[in-house]
Each structure stands twice: as structure tokens, then as C-alpha cells.
């Protein structure tokens, strides 16, 4: 149902009810009744608001699960982010990208915990169904020293990482919302399957293999967070309740803060070839790479076309198309290999949540 159809049918029902109950109704009374109805309605969430929040809660639970795995091996384990005991060799390989990587991984992980916990608590406070994916925590943990041995929702050991976000944010002429496509920064990562954490202690050597795993993680961090950076503004366009809009506008930009940090760090990934599988991390500042589309310190978004090519270019988040945004996120995460090993029921649930979120319309 289109939003205007819903609106029309609700209004006509109201109008009919008044006409029957009160006979000749003055214009003033009708207006009062309408605003009373609107006030009562605005104290709760629309079904669309709840569906969008539920999809976001699911996405945040999945994000938390993958970040927790990174933190156990490459972050800081403390009372803010429990679990794991760290892998000194993997932590050191990550620190080649930035000496503070362990702190950033810890803080990103903590943020994701708070995102899903808050959204679920907010849904519950409004009497709405919350999201729990615990029955799908069945995927294996890394066997490397430092990882907890518990069931996982996500698989970080067979990733295919789309690195086109790199050139997408550096392009001055293209926008994915116009159907434009973008070159990969690390073409090798975008085909094939690669671990982003050591699968076991055998992955801790040789040196360039472990560094390739850390580099993969570095590009994956930014891939995940650019997704959140687009998802929140894309879905915000279809919420109704001002407080739900506030939630999306307040969480979304923290995803962007994460992305901005991670794309800076990914640029520090040392060029190398993994001797075990041939995965190449190219020198992004040299030919055939280099130039504005690859230069590693161009971490501020380049302005590009927005809404219509007739407008002057604008520095913006991209994409932000709202149509099908939730299902688009599911497809991107699935193509990333994060859910390899999950049963059909997992994908069915994720699709249902995304479909409901994408059916939401402002006002319904």
C-alpha cells in the first residue's frame, strides 16, 4: 500500500465515523478530532518505525558479533569489552596500520554493543517486539590462541571484501545512486575468500601472510562502517516518529566516525603479496593506481553529483537512496561472506526483517 492510500483510507474512516456519530459536524470540531487522533498516534511508533528499528537492531547485533571477534584477537580486553585474551602477533600486525589499532577496535566494538542494546531497549519501552539472534550463534570461533571458544553469528575466515568504497568516496563525477560503479582498491580482496583473523596459530606465520590477514581486516573494518554510514541516512528518510528520526540521526553519524578512522588506517596497509595464496595489496599511491581515485591521504569525501546532475557537486555520504536500502545491506553483507555456514532459516529471518523495513513509509 502506498502511503497516500493508507492516509486516505484512515481519513475517510475517521470522517465517516464522525458523520455518523455527530450528524452535522462543524469544520472546527472535525479539525480538533483530527489533531487529537494525530497526538494519540504520535505517542507510539508506527509499524514502519518499529520495522526499521528492528532491522537496525539485527544489523547491529551482527556488527557486534564480528567486532567482538576482532577485539578478542586484535583489540583490548577489559571490563568494557569482555571476552578473549588477545593475540600478540596479530595485534602487532594490525598496529603496522596504526599504533592505536587495538584501542580503536575496542572502542568500535563497545559502540556496536551499545547500538543494538539501546535500540532493543527503546523498542521494548514502546511495547514493540525486539530482536534476538541467539539461536543462530552456531558458527565456529577462530582456533587461534586468544579467541573465546563460543558460537558465532558471523564468519570472518572466508571474506570477499568489496573495496570499491575507496574509489567511491574519491570520485568527483560518480555516485552509486545514479547507478555508477567504482574500481576496487584491492582487486584481489574482492574475489576469492580470505581470512580477516588468524584461523588458528598456523596463520601467525609467515610474516607477510599474517600481515595480509591484518590488511584484510583493515579494509574490512572500513567496508563494514561505510555500510552503516549509508544505511542510517537511507532508512531515516522513511521513519515517522520524531524520536525515531533522532535515534537514526544520532547513531548513523557514529558509524561515519568509525568509517572515517578506518579508511585512514586502511591507507597505511603495507603493499605486499601473501606468499600462501597470492593475495596482492597494491601500492595505492603508485601506477597503475595513484591519482585522485586512489591517493591514500584523500580521506575526506570528494564532492560529487547528488540528486541531479544539474546541481553543483556536493560533498556527501553516498549512497543514500532509501528504496530497498535494508535489503541492499543484507545483500552486501551476504556477498561479503560473513554468513557462510548459516542455515536457510537465518537468511529467511534476515530477509523478513529487511522486507518489513523496506515496506515502511513515512507516515505509516
| In the complex, minimum distance from the CB of residue 115 to Fe ion, in angstroms, rounded to a whole number | 4
| In the complex, minimum distance from the CB of residue 112 to Fe ion, in angstroms, rounded to a whole number | 5
Contact (CB, 8 A) for 179 and 236: no
User: In terms of CB distance, is 3 or 253 closer to Fe ion?
Assistant: 253
| In the complex, minimum distance from the CB of residue 58 to Fe ion, in angstroms, rounded to a whole number | 11
User: In terms of CB distance, is 112 or 203 closer to Fe ion?
Assistant: 112
- Helix runs in 237-343, H state only: 242-266, 325-335
The one segment of 105-113, 120-128, 195-203, 230-238 that binds Fe ion by CB under 5 A: 105-113
User: In terms of CB distance, is 56 or 97 closer to Fe ion?
Assistant: 56
| In the complex, minimum distance from the CB of residue 351 to Fe ion, in angstroms, rounded to a whole number | 21
* One residue of 54, 115, 199, 220 binding Fe ion per CB under 5 A: 115
Contact (CB, 8 A) for 162 and 332: yes
- Residues within window 44-63 making contact with Fe ion, judged by CB under 5 A: 60, 63
- Residues within window 237-256 making contact with Fe ion, judged by CB under 5 A: 255
Residues contacting 331, CB < 8 A, separation 6+: none
User: In terms of CB distance, is 174 or 258 closer to Fe ion?
Assistant: 258
| In the complex, minimum distance from the CB of residue 60 to Fe ion, in angstroms, rounded to a whole number | 5
Q: Which long-range contacts (CB under 8 A, 24 or more apart) does 178-186 make?
A: 178/305, 178/309, 183/293, 185/219, 185/266, 185/282, 185/284, 185/289, 185/294, 186/161, 186/215, 186/219, 186/280, 186/281, 186/282
The one segment of 99-107, 157-165, 186-194, 226-234 that binds Fe ion by CB under 5 A: 226-234
Read off the C-alpha cell for 102. 587495538
| In the complex, minimum distance from the CB of residue 209 to Fe ion, in angstroms, rounded to a whole number | 28
The DSSP code sequence of 93-128 is: HHTTT-TTHHHHHHHHHHHHHHHHHHHHHHHHHTT-
* One residue of 112, 177, 203, 293 binding Fe ion per CB under 5 A: 112
Contact (CB, 8 A) for 122 and 114: no
Question: Which residues in this chain contact Fe ion in the complex, by CB under 5 A?
Answer: 60, 63, 112, 115, 225, 228, 255
Amino acid at each position: 500500500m502506498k502511503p497516500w492510500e493508507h492516509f486516505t483510507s484512515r481519513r475517510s474512516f475517521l470522517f465517516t465515523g464522525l458523520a455518523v456519530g455527530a450528524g452535522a459536524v462543524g469544520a472546527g470540531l472535525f479539525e480538533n478530532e483530527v489533531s487529537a487522533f494525530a497526538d494519540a498516534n504520535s505517542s507510539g511508533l508506527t509499524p514502519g518505525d518499529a520495522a526499521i528499528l528492528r532491522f537496525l537492531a539485527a544489523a547491529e547485533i551482527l556488527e557486534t558479533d564480528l567486532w567482538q571477534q576482532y577485539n578478542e584477537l586484535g583489540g583490548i580486553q577489559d571490563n568494557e569489552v569482555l571476552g578473549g585474551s588477545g593475540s600478540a602477533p596479530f595485534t602487532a600486525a594490525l598496529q603496522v596500520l596504526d599504533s592505536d589499532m587495538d584501542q580503536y577496535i575496542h572502542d568500535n566494538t563497545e559502540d556496536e554493543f551499545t547500538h543494538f542494546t539501546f535500540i532493543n531497549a527503546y523498542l521494548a519501552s514502546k511495547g514493540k517486539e525486539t530482536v534476538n539472534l541467539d539461536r543462530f550463534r552456531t558458527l565456529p570461533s577462530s582456533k587461534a590462541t586468544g579467541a573465546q571458544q563460543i558460537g558465532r553469528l558471523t564468519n570472518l575466515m572466508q571474506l570477499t571484501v568489496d573495496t570499491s568504497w575507496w574509489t567511491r568516496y574519491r570520485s568527483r563525477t560518480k555516485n552509486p545512486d545514479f547507478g555508477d560503479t567504482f574500481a576496487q582498491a584491492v582487486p584481489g580482496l574482492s574475489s576469492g575468500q580470505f581470512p580477516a583473523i588468524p584461523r588458528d596459530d598456523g596463520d601467525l606465520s609467515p610474516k607477510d601472510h599474517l600481515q595480509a590477514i591484518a590488511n584484510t581486516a583493515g579494509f574490512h573494518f572500513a567496508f563494514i562502517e561505510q555500510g552503516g554510514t549509508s544505511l542510517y541516512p537511507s532508512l531515516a528518510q522513511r521513519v515517522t516518529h520524531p524520536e525515531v528520526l533522532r535515534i537514526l540521526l544520532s547513531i548513523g553519524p557514529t558509524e561515519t566516525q568509525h568509517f572515517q578512522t578506518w579508511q585512514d588506517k586502511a591507507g597505511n596497509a603495507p603493499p605486499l603479496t601473501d606468499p600462501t595464496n597470492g593475495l596482492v595489496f597494491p601500492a595505492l599511491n603508485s601506477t597503475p593506481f595513484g591519482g585522485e581515485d586512489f591517493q591514500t591521504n584523500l580521506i575526506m569525501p570528494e564532492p560529487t553529483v547528488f540528486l541531479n546532475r544539474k546541481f553543483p557537486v556536493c560533498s556527501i555520504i553516498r549512497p543514500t537512496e532509501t528504496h530497498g536500502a535494508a535489503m541492499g545491506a543484507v545483500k552486501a553483507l551476504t556477498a561479503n561472506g560473513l554468513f557462510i555456514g548459516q542455515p536457510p532459516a537465518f537468511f529467511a529471518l534476515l530477509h523478513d526483517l529487511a522486507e518489513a523495513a523496506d515496506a515502511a513509509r513515512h507516515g505509516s
